[in-house]
Chain A
Amino acid sequence: MGVFHEVTDQEKTSDELAVGLIDLAPQQRNLLLMRPLFQLELTKNMFSDGGGGSLFDGIDTNYLSLVALAYMMEGTAVAMGYTLVEVQQYLAHIVAHMRPTLTVTQRNRISEIVLDALDNASNNYQEHSYEYFDSRTGKNREVRFRLTTYEPDLEDTYRYRPTAEGYLVLMGMLDLEVEDHQILVERMLQLLIERGRFDQAYEFARRARMLSIEHRQLLRDFITQAWRAPGSVIWARDIGPRLREARTHIRDRQEEDRRMEESVREQLTKVDDIRAREQLVRLHEVLKSASTLRAQLQFEVSGAGEKFMDAQATAFRARKFTGLPDFEARLLPATLRIRSDRLAQGADAILLSLYPAAVPKTPDLSQILAVLLERRTLEKNFDNDVPGEVVPFKMYPDPFPNDIAEFVHHWLKSKFSLGASWRLDELLDAAEDEGLAVLECQCIAYALYRSFPDSESLFPNMHAHQDGVFVSNIAQGDNLRFDPRESK
């Protein structure tokens, strides 16, 4: 959930400073939420198609971004979202409509870039973060948000969903309350069923069945937790509301199932087409299996109280007195509440207290470099009488600034994304032809050498081999050939 700051009473005292300014916070929010989309549209021409043209020629990135979010929203209706592969394939399919001449690799590359932009991949998947002027307080503030979440479902399959902010982008400037998306999803499904789309009806029934499993799982989780850590689960807070939800779910679904079963039976008498009949039989089976599940859920709902009491009983036995609070329920939350600066101070001690005495390892080359570059703090009780020489600490500036390193990484990634093999000297020639600066070419050579071992490679889809030697005015030495890896 992104943070658009509420103005506190204390802050309102500065209202006088901001007299005469109009409050445009909702409009600013809508604009900033769109910024990742605009950024992609602005920078899309940086991506080359490998033949001198732009990969994104004739591609509307705004449409692609919105359609990606819409597709993810659709995914939340039938499951808990769509997987990375499903979203990528769908986008690649849309790209093919926009520009049919693109190759499959290029379509996939475009869908990957669009998803990366929504995910803020260039910034390590951190939240999107922008500054804005807050007219209510007269100060510049920062807003942070995500447009998508990538989280596991109950079967631990990772799926994409739009976040609350993602829904806002999708609904554009309507400025609807975020909760309304649920209503949108339900209406969409209702429409599908009314149109006699049995495949979708099947998905809907499957989802309802999944919900029953979710309710069962949630109840079981709480009972297990009550058994693992007696006292950490409170009936009124944790189990009671779940039971109420489960009961409402059972009641609503039973009514819905009855209607659906009736309509399935009715359709079965009318329809002659074999395929349609098969779909209806499949739907009927899911409905039947769902009602069995709900009977089990009903059974667990009525037995939950007894199981909870059994688990709680284990809390009432004699224990050793140590004075330490429970770890999961008390100490861990308390640690998470500590301010970062204090937590950072204590971090080393906590971590090292957890590890056993170990015989020091032989350092590898990168460790030696890290030790050489480590700058130690001056000891407070420094003894001036000890003979020795004070040598100034020499700073070695990073030869490649971050923006150059990032640009080079993207440049190389776009070359490798085309699916062909490249040699180091060919890439340096291509860089010179495209007018890259000397420093950028040096950075290319460095990045490629660094990527020689697979364990350190910046390009996990490529594998490097030594291939003769090369000489150029940037670097010389063993030449490297990068081949695409066989996909699994």
Chain B
Amino acid sequence: MMASCREASRLLYKALHLGLSPANDSEYRELLGKYRADGHFSAAVQEAAAGLELVILDVSERGLIVAPASRDSRFSLRLSDLRQNLSGEQKIALVLAHLAISAVFFPTTDRLEEDSKIPLPATISRFRDTLLSLVSRLANEETQTESAEELLPGWELLRRLPPVNPKAERASTNSVEGFVKLALKQMVEYNLVRLERESEDETQALYTATYRLRVHLRELTLPHLFELTRHSVEL
């Protein structure tokens, strides 16, 4: 029993280490094997996860993927970890940049759910242009009305931003490209996106999605987004 508790927490410890892969860690591999083979052990891991306010999203030979059970969890990211002092509009732009990046990698539900379909690598311009072309399409489709700031749709906020700041040397919060770069930087740091091919010229750098991004989108973000969009239509 004691050994099982120790191993259960050990597996969670490994799962919390974002850079760790079972391919390079034999203990991690063994614990994953035990999780899948031993019902008592998997129940112990789930109990331990619940105690730590964690939820298990996926288990495979690629590792155990855990997420915070709620925003109050000690393991939940704070928005200030991504960027401090964001205004409401900046927060929306950052969210939309994250979603556009994810949509480039997983454009269809089919692609998201078929693990064998590996997302195609993409450059910063691809993410930026996906977002910009969607904004301009929506702007052409919808009639312009004069509304209070808070009633404007998300695309209208993005349309007001310049596509790029001519003098920005790093990711900044005053252009669409700046938000894309900011989101990308954080997604790389948290192992959701991997830099596939580095380049001195950042426009040539290629990024690809990790399995972790696929799982988070499938299990948490897209169902949540679906609810949000449905709710907004109903209101």
Q: Which residues of A does B touch, CB under 8 Å?
A: 3, 5, 84, 115, 119, 121, 124-127, 141-142, 144, 146, 149-152, 156, 158, 228-230, 232, 319-320, 322, 324-329, 331-344, 346-361, 366-367, 370-371, 460
Q: B152 — which chain A residues lie within 8 A by C-beta?
A: 339-340
Stretch at the interface among B1-9, B21-29, B30-38, B70-78: B70-78
Secondary structure of the B contact surface, majority rule: helix
Interchain CB contact under 8 A, B163 and A322: no
Given contacts A328-B108, A344-B88, contact A351 B191 (CB under 8 A): no
Q: B229 — which chain A residues lie within 8 A by C-beta?
A: 331, 334-335, 338
Interface membership of B41, Cβ < 8 A: no
Interchain CB contact under 8 A, B107 and A327: yes
Q: A146 — which chain B residues lie within 8 A by C-beta?
A: 162
Given contacts A141-B146, A327-B112, A343-B95, contact A335 B154 (CB under 8 A): yes
Q: B153 — which chain A residues lie within 8 A by C-beta?
A: 336-340
8 Å CB contact of A343 from B120, B149, B154, B190: B154
Interchain CB contact under 8 A, B157 and A320: no
CB-CB contacts below 8 Å: B30-56 with A: 54
A32 to chain B, nearest CB (A): 16
B211 to chain A, nearest CB (A): 11
Which range contains the number of B residues in contact with the other chain? 35 or more
Q: A349 — which chain B residues lie within 8 A by C-beta?
A: 71, 224
Interface membership of B96, Cβ < 8 A: yes
Interchain CB contact under 8 A, B85 and A370: yes
- Cα of A142 to Cα of B74 in the assembled complex, Å: 46
Interchain CB contact under 8 A, B84 and A370: yes
Most central of B75, B102, B232 by chain A CB within 10 Å: B232
B125 to chain A, nearest CB (A): 5
Interchain CB contact under 8 A, B212 and A356: yes
- Cα of A194 to Cα of B83 in the assembled complex, Å: 57
Interchain CB contact under 8 A, B228 and A346: yes
Interchain CB contact under 8 A, B100 and A351: no
- Cα of A34 to Cα of B80 in the assembled complex, Å: 41
Most central of B100, B112, B167 by chain A CB within 10 Å: B167
- Cα of A460 to Cα of B168 in the assembled complex, Å: 10
- Cα of A325 to Cα of B85 in the assembled complex, Å: 34
Interchain CB contact under 8 A, A353 and B221: yes
Q: B113 — which chain A residues lie within 8 A by C-beta?
A: 319-320, 322
Q: B186 — which chain A residues lie within 8 A by C-beta?
A: 355
Q: B217 — which chain A residues lie within 8 A by C-beta?
A: 327, 354
Interface membership of B192, Cβ < 8 A: yes
Question: Closest residue of chain B to A373, judged by CB?
Answer: B85
- Cα of A347 to Cα of B157 in the assembled complex, Å: 14
- Cα of A344 to Cα of B94 in the assembled complex, Å: 11
- Cα of A349 to Cα of B91 in the assembled complex, Å: 11
- Cα of A331 to Cα of B108 in the assembled complex, Å: 10
What would 27 A/B residue contacts be, using CB atoms closer than 8 Å? Answer: A121-B167, A125-B165, A229-B108, A322-B113, A324-B226, A326-B107, A327-B109, A328-B103, A328-B104, A328-B107, A328-B130, A331-B225, A332-B99, A334-B232, A335-B96, A335-B229, A337-B155, A338-B153, A339-B153, A346-B228, A347-B94, A350-B228, A351-B82, A351-B91, A354-B213, A356-B191, A357-B66
- Cα of A119 to Cα of B167 in the assembled complex, Å: 11
Interchain CB contact under 8 A, A336 and B96: yes
Given contacts A335-B99, A336-B135, contact A125 B162 (CB under 8 A): yes
Q: A343 — which chain B residues lie within 8 A by C-beta?
A: 92, 95, 154
- Cα of A351 to Cα of B101 in the assembled complex, Å: 13
Interchain CB contact under 8 A, B166 and A150: yes
Interchain CB contact under 8 A, B125 and A156: yes
- Cα of A125 to Cα of B228 in the assembled complex, Å: 31
- Cα of A358 to Cα of B216 in the assembled complex, Å: 14
What does the 1/0 interface line of B198-215 toward A look like (CB < 8 Å)?
000001000000001100
- Cα of A167 to Cα of B87 in the assembled complex, Å: 33
What does the 1/0 interface line of B166-197 toward A look like (CB < 8 Å)?
11010000110000000000100011100000
8 Å CB contact of B226 from A325, A328, A357: A325
- Cα of A230 to Cα of B142 in the assembled complex, Å: 25
Q: A334 — which chain B residues lie within 8 A by C-beta?
A: 229, 232-233
Interchain CB contact under 8 A, B228 and A335: yes
Given contacts A84-B166, A331-B222, A354-B192, contact A339 B150 (CB under 8 A): yes
Interchain CB contact under 8 A, B216 and A354: yes
Interchain CB contact under 8 A, A326 and B109: yes
A327 to chain B, nearest CB (A): 5
A355 to chain B, nearest CB (A): 4
B73 to chain A, nearest CB (A): 7
Question: Closest residue of chain B to A126, judged by CB?
Answer: B160
Interchain CB contact under 8 A, A359 and B226: no
- Cα of A355 to Cα of B79 in the assembled complex, Å: 11
8 Å CB contact of A348 from B65, B79, B135: B79
Q: A333 — which chain B residues lie within 8 A by C-beta?
A: 134, 137-138
Interface membership of B144, Cβ < 8 A: yes
- Cα of A287 to Cα of B162 in the assembled complex, Å: 37
- Cα of A382 to Cα of B80 in the assembled complex, Å: 26
Interchain CB contact under 8 A, B225 and A335: yes
CB-CB contacts below 8 Å: B99-133 with A: 99-100, 102-104, 106-113, 120, 125, 130
Most central of A150, A152, A230, A356 by chain B CB within 10 Å: A356
A350 to chain B, nearest CB (A): 5
- Cα of A332 to Cα of B112 in the assembled complex, Å: 14
B172 to chain A, nearest CB (A): 9
A28 to chain B, nearest CB (A): 16
Interchain CB contact under 8 A, B138 and A351: no
Question: Closest residue of chain B to A337, judged by CB?
Answer: B153
8 Å CB contact of B169 from A142, A371, A460: A460
8 closest Cβ pairs, A-B complex: A328-B107, A357-B75, A341-B150, A353-B220, A334-B229, A229-B107, A336-B155, A125-B162
Given contacts A335-B228, A357-B68, contact A340 B216 (CB under 8 A): no
- Cα of A341 to Cα of B112 in the assembled complex, Å: 29
Interchain CB contact under 8 A, A358 and B18: yes
- Cα of A150 to Cα of B128 in the assembled complex, Å: 14
Q: B154 — which chain A residues lie within 8 A by C-beta?
A: 335-338, 340, 343
A136 to chain B, nearest CB (A): 13
Given contacts A125-B174, A338-B153, A350-B225, contact A325 B99 (CB under 8 A): no
A329 to chain B, nearest CB (A): 7
- Cα of A353 to Cα of B118 in the assembled complex, Å: 22
Q: B220 — which chain A residues lie within 8 A by C-beta?
A: 353-354
